[in-house]
Amino acid sequence: QPQLVESGGGSVQAGGSLRLACVISRAPYSSMHMAWFRQAPGKEREGVAAIYARSERTYYTESVKGRFTISQDNAKNSFYLQMSSLNADDSAMYYCAVRSFRSLMSWWDDQSYDYWGQGTQVTVSS
């Protein structure tokens, strides 16, 4: 069974940085769309960023553009989310997720992702 494990979350002051990692074991697809989602208490889960492995195209939600960078390392079966200039609105549980590269759904469509990590908490204090 495929497994995704996130790491890198933690507590940081506003303006600080964190780097999240997602390691994929027993990858379910030969090529994937890989994404980061987040969910804050009382809010819906939202797509933060995605990277399409084959094309290496990246996508970001508007609020993180210019501050977050998603990347992949195929040799390590991993992808990452570098987060900078963090603010309190970025506080949430962050999840990594993957789906087949064949998916035609929007990158932020969480229902289209088949495999998820357990989540890593990011807390930004002002």
Write down the pLDDT at residue 30.
87
Q: Kindly state the tokens that stand for 126.
A: 């002002």
State the Cα torsion 119-31-106-82 to the nearest 10°.
50
CB-based burial label for 61 (10 Å; 0-12, 13-18, 19+): middle
Q: What span, in angstroms and rounded, lies between the C-alpha atoms of 77 and 98?
A: 12
What are the pLDDT digits (tens) for 42-76? 999 999 999 999 999 999 999 999 999 999 999 99
User: Cβ neighbours of residue 92 under 8 Å, at least 6 residues apart?
Assistant: 38, 39, 40, 43, 121, 122
Residue 74 φ/ψ, nearest 5 degrees: -65, -35
pLDDT score of 109 more than 90: yes
Q: What span, in angstroms and rounded, lies between the C-alpha atoms of 5 and 64?
A: 22
Report the chain's mean pLDDT, rounded to a whole number.
97
Write down the pLDDT at residue 115.
97
What are the pLDDT digits (tens) for 27-39? 999 899 999 999 9
3-class state of residue 111 by DSSP? helix
